């Protein structure tokens, strides 16, 4: 048994594989630590002292701290992440609905003409004021550009 023993690291391709594996594990370790720290701050059920304690534990003893945190609180980590993602999606959907409902904050000329027609039918403005405001809307200047039609004139 005087034969030479070869290790996986002695072959160039296996050396690259081994290095890539360690690099991947190293990156995954930092991703796990980052997710744990984010989860510590995301949890509204924990007090400030508990958050500080977990953070010190994870930073000072990272392997043991991460291991204990994942065992003790790992199940709820996923739940908190899903709840936060749902809340973000609901806020985004609400924003889209409000923006679509209000036309992005810029009323179209058709909307302005409909409002002018409604104001005229209520008798708040005369036909002459309606005609001048309509011309302004169609020219692109809007009804409140000095015609006397607008929020202050709508109430007389």
The residue assigned the tokens 């701290």 is 65
pLDDT at 9 over 70: no
Separation in Å, CA 129 to CA 118, 135, 136, 154? 13, 10, 11, 11
pLDDT at 101 over 80: no
Distance CA 47, CA 153 (A): 56
Distance CA 126, CA 122 (A): 10
Residue among 86, 91, 121, 115 nearest 103 (CA): 115
Two tokens, residue 41:
């701050």
Decide if 124 contacts 154 (C-beta within 8 A). yes
Q: % helix / strand / coil in the chain, to the nearest 5? A: 75, 0, 25
Two tokens, residue 35:
């997710």
Q: What is the pLDDT of residues 12-71, one digit of tens each?
A: 777 888 889 999 999 999 999 999 999 999 888 889 999 999 999 999 998 999 999 999
pLDDT average, residue stretch 77-94: 90
């Amino acid at each position: 048994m005087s034969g030479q023993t070869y290790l996986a690291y002695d072959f160039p391709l296996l050396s690259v594989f081994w290095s890539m594996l360690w690099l991947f594990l190293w990156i995954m370790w930092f991703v796990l630590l980052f997710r744990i720290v984010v989860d510590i701050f995301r949890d509204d059920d924990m007090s400030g002292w508990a958050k500080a304690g977990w953070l010190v534990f994870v930073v000072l003893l990272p392997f043991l701290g991460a291991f204990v945190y994942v065992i003790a609180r790992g199940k709820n980590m996923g739940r908190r992440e899903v709840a936060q993602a749902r809340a973000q999606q609901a806020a985004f959907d609400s924003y889209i609905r409000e923006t679509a409902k209000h036309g992005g904050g810029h009323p179209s000329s058709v909307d302005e003409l409909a409002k002018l027609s409604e104001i005229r039918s209520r008798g708040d403005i005369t036909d002459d004021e309606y005609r001048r405001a309509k011309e302004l809307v169609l020219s692109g200047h809007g009804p409140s550009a000095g015609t006397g039609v607008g929020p202050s004139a709508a109430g007389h």
